[in-house]
């Protein structure tokens, strides 16, 4: 055991420290499938040990990367400069569900879906619902400001985080926010830490705001002969004052992949776009709003319209959306998933941009996602063994990001920057803005030990060798 | 004209620079009624001029304070170390209301109530509704993260700010956020700037998110023989899954002040607490929820219950709440208004604390506010000429702030810290947390020129002479 591992063992206990190749390799990847192995993995049991580990890394200028469930898409939880991975595996308890005050206190490694189940059993609702909710952890959701289909009506993770306990890279334990839903004493450090991608502090306890569980939910599906017609339906629904909880759009290439995966068609012939909608809230209001939503869908030229009346029918409507990621993976060896976002009214312009990119760069592209908030997952379906195709994909990425910024959108709406999008951050942010963020980083982390090489800080050397199996050392 | 004024005139034009005593005195006070006069007041016409002014102040280490409508309660928009006041008076236009994308782009000196009127005329809704909405500006709302009665259901200002254009103290113009409602590219600078009280950057353009205007709104009022009974009603309403848009509580001393002000009783004899409730949303849902709210109010022991059915009846129910601030001003020469906040279920404990403080320090205290989110305005009604009473009030403030922090609340929910609450910030925040905020401040403002002497940075010298008429020089 090397010196670093020995010092970590002295803090957290020898049985909590691993340096074997298999463990290091496992912690050198997340859902992105790329990264570098850490030198040591430590699994501390309490906040005080994390503070001591942070101080050790600060004093020795050793990279420290925090890992929860490891389901991120941009490499946020994997090292690219070696060092220590702190696994939060032992921080997995729901500490309190306070029904009267509409809040819950959780440790960061609670699985998001488990939090949903626990609060819904008490008649409460935690709206953020990233697609990976069955396996992702709430700490990662906070670190990335996770979204999900319900974000159009309910907002993303930041809107539900009331307070945090966190360890600074310098080893101090801080508390931000409070259990009170209003709090303007000092800067909004809670909101700043949400979405900071593990680069500012190590989250050790999270207090989330809850709302009453909507008593009724109804699901509809409508198909269209063009994306423009589907977008007209969305505009008509919103113009009528209905805010659906879910407003997903799935394009033809995505539907074809699902049809191939399931072995049966998902929509009538000629379908270019499928809308999946859910309306929730007060029971009588939902009945009325479902009717108005269906009318808006039809007036925009729906070629088919289905309203679920049973749970089985609802599950059938959701099936295409649920299997979509798996279906796309079977279409091509690699799926490069970009979660770009534009103002909602510009979704047709975004699809026109994707069409142009598809033709210009001769690529298979499937685009689906959250039409309500303009957050569309643009998937480039490529073969890493085809060097020419990969080069075209790289050029296409630049065109995509430049295009969404020109549409007054953002290069990432849900997944964060990590190291996967770091080279594109300058397309959206000006040098003065990135320099300001780097100064904020320095205010938290003067030695730059916490999750180095991410966001704007990714160098060519960091990225070298990432595709060689994930092991640098 | 002194050298500083001359250099400002060279940037913004001589007709935009004032150094006369009357102007300086006017810009040395806000709604708090205390402050120090600036040396110069400049009223720039565009962002480029503001950038040049910021750079001048940065280079010469001159304090720079931004002023909008000047309606703040904690001194955020007045200098306490002289220097330059930048009046935003010319930034008063609504630049765009984008109905399809549910957003508006405004300059910071737009009056909040005017924004309400403009978007509601288009069928849209900007929920934050600080009590001063007829005269406060949206820029100040953003700087302080303003709340208001509707915050229980709809949240405070931060939830509605999508993007900002801002000038750094170093003179760079930055843009944060985007028109897309999801954006996780880099740190959440937008959320950090909201509530930063004019200490990090000068806001020059604000993009706010809008929602569809709720089509129906109904108002109720209920009275109780104890605050505990009123709080039971609130808990029963929320437990039943109803989230009222407004849930205000007015205590007996406040009702007595209103009765004296208007010359007629506002509630039945023996009333200790009045609840003012509004339910909004889908018309049929509102009808049902009003019925359930009324039932919950009655089951908790309401001594009277009124549901408005006409606009005139609604106005009558709101009258006590609307005239409250004016009524309290006529009770005592000075009203020290503290906007403390606790988790909602602890509102009875907060009132018990206020009762104990009232007895221990022999003070008149009226407490009313937003029972839904636990944000209660505790008003100490004092006479500045009575030195003994003022000393007791100072001791009472410390007891109040310590008490709300013990209840897991916050010392300010709406008004901010400014210099008025700066001496109390350490009751809520630990030294490591304040030190971190100071480092964040330094990342934005290395020379410390922007709104110095506020939040944690207020010294005894800053506060000396504040009551002598507002003029230091």
Phi, psi of B165 (to 5 degrees): -105, 135
pLDDT at B468 over 60: no
Chain A residue numbers touching B185 (CB-CB < 8 A):
410-412, 417, 421, 425, 428-429
Q: Cβ–Cβ of B100/A151 closer than 8 Å?
A: no
Q: Render pLDDT for B414-430 as a digit per residue (tens, 0 to 9).
A: 999 999 999 999 999 99
CA distance A64 to A456: 17
Chain A CA closest to residue B198: A187
Concatenated DSSP letters for B202-236?
A: EEEEEEEE-EEPPSEEEEEEEEESSHHHHHHHHHH
> What is the tens place of the pLDDT at every residue in A146-180?
999 999 999 999 999 999 999 999 999 999 999 99
A168 in helix, strand or coil?
Answer: coil
**Tokens standing for residue A210:** 């809850």
Mean pLDDT of B390-410: 97
CA B78 to chain centre: 15
Tens digit of each residue's pLDDT (9 = 90 or more) over B320-370: 888 998 899 888 999 999 999 999 999 999 999 999 999 999 999 999 999
Question: What's the confidence (pLDDT) of residue B331?
Answer: 87
A223 three-class SS: strand
**Is pLDDT above 60 for B32?**
yes
Q: Tell me whether residue A299 is exposed, middle or buried, using C-beta atoms within 10 angstroms of its C-beta: 0 to 12, 13 to 18, 19 or more.
A: exposed
Q: How confident is the model at residue A465 (pLDDT cuts 50, 70, 90)?
A: confident
Q: Which of B172, B191, B374 sits opposite A192 (nearest CB)?
A: B191
Band of residue A467 on the pLDDT scale cut at 50, 70, 90 = low
Structure confidence at residue B472 (pLDDT): 35
Give yes or no for residue A473 having a pLDDT over 70: no
Helix residue spans in A300-386 (DSSP H): 311-331, 347-361
Q: For B435-444, what is each residue's pLDDT tens digit? A: 999 999 999 9
Share of chain B above pLDDT 70, in %: 98
pLDDT digits (tens, 9 = 90+) for A243-265: 999 999 999 999 999 999 999 99
Over the stretch A44-72, which tens digit does the pLDDT of each residue have? 999 999 999 999 999 999 999 999 999 99
Chain A residues near residue B414 by CB distance under 8 angstroms: 182, 184
- With residue A462 as reference, give the H or E element that holds it: helix A460-463
Within 10 angstroms of residue B2's Cβ, the number of other Cβ atoms is 10
Of A182, A188, A344, the CB nearest to B413: A182
Contact B212 A241 (CB under 8 A): yes
Sequence-separated (6 or more) residues with CB below 8 Å from residue B326: B261
Q: Which residue of B168, B239, B430 is in closest CB contact with A436? A: B168
Disruptive mutation site among A187, A284, A427 for chain B (greatest number of B CBs within 10 Å): A187
- Compute φ and ψ for A158, nearest 5 degrees: -55, -35
- The reported pLDDT for the residue numbered A325 is 85
Q: Which of B99, B432, B440 sits opposite A174 (nearest CB)?
A: B432
CA A395 to chain B, closest CA, distance in angstroms equals: 20
Residue with tokens 């966190």: A166
Q: How far is A83 from chain B (nearest CA, A)?
A: 23
How far apart are the CA of A147 and the nearest CA of chain B, in angstroms?
8
What's the pLDDT score for residue A471? 37
pLDDT at A320: 87
Taking an 8 Å cut-off on Cβ atoms, the answer to whether A100 and B178 are in contact is no
* Interface touch B434/A178, C-beta < 8 Å: no
Q: Answer for the pair B441, B196: CB distance below 8 angstroms, yes or no.
A: no
Q: Structure tokens of B349?
A: 């404990």
Could A195 and B187 be called an inter-chain contact, meaning their C-beta atoms sit closer than 8 Å? yes
Q: Kindly determine whether residue B434 and residue A186, on different chains, have CB atoms separated by under 8 Å.
A: yes
- Order of strands across the sheet with A64-67? A17-18, A40-42, A84-87, A64-67
- Using DSSP, state whether B37 is helix, strand or coil: coil
Measure in Å the smallest separation between the Cα of A419 and chain B Cα atoms. 12
Nearest to B192 among A191, A282, A434 (CB): A191
| Lowest-confidence region among A321-325, A377-381, B169-173 | A321-325
The model's pLDDT over B150-196, given as tens digits with 9 standing for 90+, comes to 999 999 999 999 999 999 999 999 999 999 999 999 999 999 999 99
Tokens encoding B230: 């009123």
List pLDDT tens digits, range A276-290.
999 999 999 999 999
- Beta strand B211-212 with B124-125 is antiparallel
Question: ipTM of this predicted complex?
Answer: 0.96
**A227 Cβ neighbours under 8 A, 6+ residues apart:** A249, A251, A272, A273, A347, A348, A351
Quote the mean pLDDT of chain B: 95
Cβ of A185 within 8 Å of Cβ of B411? The answer is yes
* Test mutation, A182, A343, A406, chain B, max B CBs within 10 A: A182
Tokens 């110095």 sit on residue? B452
B151 → chain A, closest CA residue: A182
Residues of B in contact with A140 (CB under 8 A): none
Instruction: Say if residues B86 and B198 touch (Cβ distance below 8 Å).
Output: no
Other beta carbons less than 10 A from residue B117's beta carbon:
11
Contact state of A194 with B188 under an 8 Å Cβ cutoff: yes
Q: What angle do CA B218, B223, B224 make, to 5 degrees?
A: 140
**Mean pLDDT value across residues A213-230:** 96
Indicate yes or no: CB of A183 within 8 angstroms of CB of B212. Answer: no
pLDDT for A330: 87
Report the 10 Å Cβ neighbour count for B408. Answer: 16
Average pLDDT in the A17-28 region?
Answer: 96
B375 contacts A180? CB cut-off 8 A:
yes
Checking if the pLDDT of B467 tops 60, the result is no
Residues of B in contact with A409 (CB under 8 A): 178-180
**Chain B environment of A238 (Cβ under 8 Å):** 100, 102, 212
Determine the average pLDDT of the residues in A380-401: 96
pLDDT digits (tens, 9 = 90+) for B278-331: 999 999 999 999 999 999 999 999 999 999 989 999 999 999 888 998 899 888
Strand locations in A262-313 (E)? 273-281, 304-307
Q: What is the pLDDT of residues B66-122, one digit of tens each?
A: 999 999 999 999 999 999 999 999 999 999 999 999 999 999 999 999 999 999 999
The reply to whether residue A123 touches residue B241, judged by beta carbons under 8 angstroms, is: yes
């Amino acid at each position: 055991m090397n010196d670093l591992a020995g010092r970590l063992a002295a803090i957290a206990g020898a049985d909590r420290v691993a340096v074997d190749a298999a463990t290091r390799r496992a912690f050198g990847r997340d859902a992105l499938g790329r990264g570098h192995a850490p030198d040591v993995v430590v699994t501390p049991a309490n906040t005080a040990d994390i503070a001591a580990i942070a101080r050790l890394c600060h004093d020795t200028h050793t990279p420290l990367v925090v890992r929860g469930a490891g389901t991120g898409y941009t490499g946020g939880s994997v090292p690219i400069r070696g060092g220590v991975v702190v696994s939060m595996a032992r921080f997995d308890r729901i500490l309190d569900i306070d029904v009267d005050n509409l809040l819950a206190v959780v440790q960061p490694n609670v699985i998001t879906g488990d939090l949903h189940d626990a609060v819904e059993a008490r008649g409460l609702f935690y709206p953020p619902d990233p697609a990976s909710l069955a396996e992702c952890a709430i700490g990662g959701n906070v670190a990335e400001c996770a979204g999900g289909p319900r974000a159009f009506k309910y907002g993303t993770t930041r809107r539900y985080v009331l307070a945090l306990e966190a360890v600074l890279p310098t080893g101090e334990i801080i508390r931000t926010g409070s259990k009170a839903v209003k709090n303007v004493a000092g800067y909004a450090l809670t909101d700043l830490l949400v979405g900071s991608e593990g680069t500012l502090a190590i989250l050790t306890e999270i207090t989330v705001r809850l709302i009453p569980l909507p008593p009724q939910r109804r699901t509809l599906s409508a198909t269209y002969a063009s994306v423009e017609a589907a977008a007209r339906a969305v505009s008509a629904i919103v113009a009528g004052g209905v805010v659906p909880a879910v407003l997903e759009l799935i394009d033809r290439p995505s539907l074809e992949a699902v049809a191939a995966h399931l072995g049966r068609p998902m929509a009538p012939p000629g379908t270019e776009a499928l809308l999946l909608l859910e309306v929730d809230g007060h029971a009588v209001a939902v009945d009325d709003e479902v009717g108005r939503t269906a009318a808006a869908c039809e007036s925009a030229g729906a070629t088919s319209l289905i309203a679920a009346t049973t749970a089985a029918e609802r599950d059938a409507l959701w099936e295409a959306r649920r299997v979509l990621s798996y279906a796309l993976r079977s279409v091509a060896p690699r799926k490069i998933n970009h979660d770009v976002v534009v103002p909602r009214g510009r979704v047709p312009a975004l699809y026109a941009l994707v069409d142009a990119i598809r033709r210009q760069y001769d690529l298979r592209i499937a685009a689906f996602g959250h039409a309500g908030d303009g957050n569309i997952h643009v998937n480039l379906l490529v073969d890493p063994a085809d060097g020419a195709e990969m080069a075209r994909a790289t050029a296409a990425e630049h065109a995509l990001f430049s295009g969404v910024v020109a549409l007054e959108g953002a290069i990432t709406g849900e997944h964060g920057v990590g190291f996967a999008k770091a080279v594109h951050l300058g397309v959206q942010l000006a040098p003065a803005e990135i320099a300001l963020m780097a100064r904020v980083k320095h205010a938290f982390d003067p030695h730059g030990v916490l999750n180095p090489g991410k966001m704007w800080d990714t160098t060519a050397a960091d990225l070298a060798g990432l595709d060689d199996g994930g092991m640098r050392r």
